[in-house]
Structure 1
Amino acid sequence: MDAAPTYERTRARVEDYFDRTATRTWERLTSDAPVSGIRATVRAGRDRMRDVMLAQVPGDLRGARVLDAGCGTGAMAVALAERGADVVAIDISPALIDIAQKRCPAEVRSRITFRAGDMLMPELGDFDYALAMDSMIYYGAGDIAGCLDRLAPRLANSFVFTLAPRTPLLMAMWRVGQMFPRSDRSPTMVPHNLRGIERAMYAADVAGTLRAVERVNSGFYISSALEFRP
């Protein structure tokens, strides 16, 4: 039996999934192209969650340096740049970064640096704020606590991120997913609650506070936003 996934193993699996399997689906989902009813609920949920997360940072971000961790096709990065931020938009999928660069409006292009790689790379520097929308949903509580610990020294204010909430429905789906061999399935969302992450932070001696922001339920999209302050 495999050992528990580590951050690096899970990250590699997610990168492979998006670059080999999900790029076209993700490109369509995050565009204005018509999609099925199920995907429409996901699109609406993601739009709502983006608004929730943006509401946690100042409306005027001029002079601020902001990390968009797991930027996908770039919608959050563009919204942050429109507020005046200097944005580092990073994603582990080079294919998604290519899409984000092509979609980036000319008027904010100079304020966004797109990178393919790990959001925790020290060479990215320090930030006033960081946001990670649906990019940490595949990691266990210990890995999430480790991410917070590594990011905290480089963060002046807050890190707003999303996780899959620990609801009965998502727990049932997660248990079914665990029945399939890892080589035969895409990365599986790991459900969490606030207390579980706090316990992992305590166990890893991570300094800082965590609070629940809002849960978004939109058909097949269910996600909770949290805010970490070092």
Structure 2
Amino acid sequence: MSEIATYEIRRSEIETYFDRTASDAWKKLTSDAPLGRIRASVRAGRDAMRASLLAMLPEDLSGRRVLDAGCGTGALAVALAKRGAEVVAVDLSPTLIVHARDLAAGEGLSAPIRFESGDMLAAAHGRFDHVVLMDSLIHYEPDDAAAALASLAARTNGSIAFTLAPKTPLLALMHRAGRLFPRGDRAPAIVPVAIDCFRDRLEAHPSLSGWSLGAERRVASGFYKSHGMEFVRS
């Protein structure tokens, strides 16, 4: 099966989960609402990783066009807009996009952020100075994740910051146990990735010549394990 076909199948599964099954759970996870111990650890980890990805970008983004690919409830898009960026925030879930748009309006940031539901890789979104994918590639096989980065790199002038689920024995055990969420709203399987192998994959990818790996940061917060990476146009 081709990379395009497997990406599209997985994209459909993710859209169903986030838009029809667990949108309320993710709204709560990304809010200030009280949470149980497991979900609180996920929230804390996501907050730390969001800060890490933002640290990979210029503090002043005035005049820069930035794609928040897989924006969810929009916290990262809001942070980018506060730095002066023109943000295109894309998510597969129309439900989460409506919620994100409302939250941005509450922050007075409707103008600099364009929220859209659909495929984060769509060429119609145009070119960007920077792209951020926070936990947007973690449900895809390594070949599909690398192909997605190559697709975005073709339309990116500066850098791409992204996360992967690092392949560790503990992470594999937790995901086999399926304990990140209750059974009724469990996410599509997260694909743990061997980071060293993925680095080699990117460096050897024929469509990614002229790009190099930059800063990296791993976050481990209870049930949240994530590895952030920066990819920079040379």
Q: TM-score, normalised on structure 1?
A: 0.90
Q: What is the SS of the residue equivalent to 1:52?
A: helix
Counterpart of 2:40?
40
For 2:199, give the aligned amino acid: E
For residue 191 of structure 1, report the CA deviation from its aligned partner: 0.7
Structure 1 spans left out of the alignment, 5+ residues:
178-184
2:128 aligns with 127
What's the counterpart of residue 145 of structure 2?
144
Is 1:220 aligned to residue 220 of structure 2? Answer: no
**Structure 2 unaligned residues grouped into runs of 5+:** 179-185
Matches within 5 A, 1:204-219: 204-205=205-206, 206-207=208-209, 208-211=211-214, 213-219=216-222
Q: Is the 8 A contact 2:91 2:118 kept in 1?
A: yes
> Which range moves more in the overlay, 18-27 or 79-88?
18-27
RMSD, aligned α-carbons: 2.1
Instruction: Give percent identity, aligned residues only.
Output: 50
- C-alpha change, 1:113 and 1:176, in structure 2 (3 Å) is same
Corresponding residue pairs, total? 223
Give the whole-Å Cα distance in 1 for the aligned partners of 2:112 and 2:9. Answer: 32
* TM-score, structure 2 normalization: 0.88
Deviations 1:36-86 (A, max 9, x none): 111111111111111111000011100000000000000000000000000
Aligned equivalents of 1:172 and 1:203: distance in 2?
30
**C-alpha distance in structure 2 between counterparts of 1:167 and 1:161, whole Å:** 18
- Relative to structure 1, the CA distance from residue 3 to residue 114 in structure 2 (aligned partners, 3 Å threshold; closer, same or farther) is closer
Deviation (angstroms), 1:153: 1.6
- Contact conserved, 1:38 with 1:220, CA < 8 A, in 2? yes
Checking the alignment, whether the CA contact within 8 Å between 1:194 and 1:211 is kept in structure 2 is no
The answer to whether the 8 Å contact 1:145/1:200 transfers is yes
Q: 1:29 to 1:174 in 2, by over 3 A?
A: closer
